[in-house]
Amino acid sequence: MTGDQTFQLGGRPAKYTVLYFYPKDNTPGCTTESMAFRDKHDEFLAAGAEVYGISRDSLRSHEGFKSKLGLPFELISDPDELVCNQFNVMKNKMMYGKQVRGVERSTFVVDAHGRLVKEWRGVKVNDHVDEVLEFVKRLP
């Protein structure tokens, strides 16, 4: 994880953790989504939620992406797809007429005990972050 840290889901200090899985650093959709989470970061914190982005990119790639976009939250590097497989976000997709295996854009809200509260799969970037934020704001 960026910031020279390791990540453990259960026992986080926040009431809720938002994990957004995205396909690749520095691509248009992933950049737009990450900037939207960045722009709403203070509102997520005020609602009691930490935000983390996860992809298969290297830690080095994540550090550059985080710096370039000024992301105030950490990015988790999962090159071996361990976390991606736990959340079942690795999917076969068609890209330029070829079948490839990649991360399905997905977001999960997990409580402080590590229990899944809500999931969004096959996410479209537009308005998604607002939808997640509104959901988190309604949580107790």
Active site (catalytic) residues = 30
The answer to the question of residue 5 being in a domain is no
Q: In total, how many domains does the chain have?
A: 1
pLDDT in tens, 73-103: 999 999 999 999 999 999 998 878 999 999 9
Going by the DSSP 8-state scheme, the letter that residue 104 receives in this structure is P
For residue 108, what are the contacts with CB-CB under 8 A and spacing of at least 6?
18, 19, 20, 21, 87, 116, 118, 119, 120
Residue carrying the six token digits 């200090």: 13
Range of the domain at 128: 16-138
pLDDT averaged over the chain?
Answer: 94
Question: What's the whole-model pTM score?
Answer: 0.93
Percentage of residues in the chain having pLDDT higher than 70: 96
Q: Residue 71 sits in a domain of what CATH number?
A: 3.40.30.10
Closest CA to 105 of 93, 122, 117, 92: 122
The answer to the question of residue 38 being in a domain is yes
